[in-house]
Amino acid sequence: MQETFSPKHRPPGLRLAALCVAAALSVNAPAKEAGFEQVFSAQGEPATLHYQAAFAAKGAEHRLEVWRDGGGRLKRRTDEAIETYVFRRPGDAEFRMSILDRKKRIHTRIDRSNLYRIGNFTDWFDLAHGLKHPMGEYRLGRARAPVAAAKAIAACRWYDLSQGGRTSHICWSAQIRLPLVIQAQNGEVVWRVTAWDRKAIPPAIFEIHDQGFIQNDANQDIESD
């Protein structure tokens, strides 16, 4: 009759072999890197979202207000000077964009494909979430809050995004699918959401009022080159 052993009563030799195999697999298995799309996923985001944020650029602080209506309509207002309207079929990569410069009174129209032609790789996610997908190699993983971390407006989880010798500390809200705080490695707060709500957005928000504006069709200019 063949002798059998339960897991608790394996001979010492078998237990030692099992431990050696487990150790070898642990050492040789590559560490799994977190992917940008998996960590900062838009899946399950609120149907509508309105938020305000402060962000730093070129040594100055700016104000941004965003209205996000599902995956089809988006409006961004920067410093009460620039309004950006973006429209697409939900789930489609291609979009139509209208940019109103209220100071210069110019209305520029451009599509995503033509943005790419001129080297501006802006996507819907970037515009809707204030977080741009890194180009090239990067490292992304869960992290502790940085020293002197800025206080977020709601609960969020910290991640470190490293690329090109620089690390950004990002506190991502799974509730509204938005970075609530982004800090540079020197501690500077470069993005902070200051208010948000999920109320229904009136259709009038997405109406473009450009009476008296100069009309600039960038699509025609780019495609004719």
Confidence band of 225 (pLDDT split at 50, 70, 90): low
Residue 113 domain-assigned (yes or no): yes
Residue 108 domain-assigned (yes or no): yes
Residue 182 domain-assigned (yes or no): yes
Q: Where does the chain have alpha helices with state H?
A: 12-28, 36-39, 112-117, 124-129, 218-224
Chain segment 22-79, per-residue pLDDT in tens: 333 333 333 345 699 999 999 999 999 999 999 998 888 999 999 999 899 999 999 9
Chain segment 199-210, per-residue pLDDT in tens: 999 999 999 999
Three-state DSSP class for 143? coil
* pLDDT at residue 7 greater than cutoff 60: no
Residue 32 domain-assigned (yes or no): no
Residue 13 domain-assigned (yes or no): no
Residue 18 domain-assigned (yes or no): no
Chain segment 103-158, per-residue pLDDT in tens: 999 999 999 999 999 999 899 999 999 999 998 999 999 999 998 899 999 999 99
Residue 30 domain-assigned (yes or no): no
Residue 27 domain-assigned (yes or no): no
Give me the domain span that covers residue 103.
Answer: 42-224
Which phi and psi angles does 160 have, rounded to 5°?
-110, 125
Number of domains the chain is built from: 1
CATH number of 214's domain:
2.50.20
